[in-house]
Amino acid sequence: MQAHKMLLDEVEEDLFKLLAIYCSVEDFRMAFLLNKYLKLGLRREREDVDFIHQSVQAYYARFTFKDPTNFHSYNLVANKFKGQASKVLNTGSLFAEDEVRPLELNLIPEYKKVNFFLKIEEDMPDQHFNKLVNIISQIPQVIAVHKIDVEQLKSKQNLIFE
């Protein structure tokens, strides 16, 4: 039997820009504020983004909006999952003791202090992108916002939503 090799000349990667948002509000409140200040229509997705980290199932809230006039898709996703991990302390006795401790897992581990990511799909001019950053930075509840270079991001596969 002959082996056939197939070569992929160029695999087109998703074009998107990414903003890191630092704030202390809940996910639904952040979506509301972005809708208000950016005139978007972010809505909560039925299914959260889910990952298994160290045998713990983590869920991250996701809000989406597709802009039909500019052909941009906006995804607001939480970076932090707060749950509880249990650990069996004593297995040699009749009664097993469980230790339950708070657990915080990040969608993008390189940015542990970021609360939310705003992913903008499709190509957006830098001037328009900078305007978004300026508007978001003026929201009173937002502590800081900055652009992230997607090419340098190690775990960008965590931001691919299907």
Give the β-pairing of 62-67 and 49-53: unpaired
- Would you say residue 159 lies in a domain? no
* CA–CA dist 10, 159 (Å, integer): 21
- Would you say residue 74 lies in a domain? yes
Task: Name the band, by pLDDT with cuts 50, 70 and 90, for residue 11.
Answer: very low
SS3 category, 49: strand
- Each residue of 12-59: pLDDT tens digit? 455 789 999 999 999 999 999 999 999 999 999 888 777 776 667 788
- Would you say residue 162 lies in a domain? no
* pLDDT value of residue 64: 92
> Number of folded domains in the chain?
1
- Would you say residue 3 lies in a domain? no
- Would you say residue 108 lies in a domain? yes
- Would you say residue 81 lies in a domain? yes
- Would you say residue 10 lies in a domain? no
- Would you say residue 158 lies in a domain? no
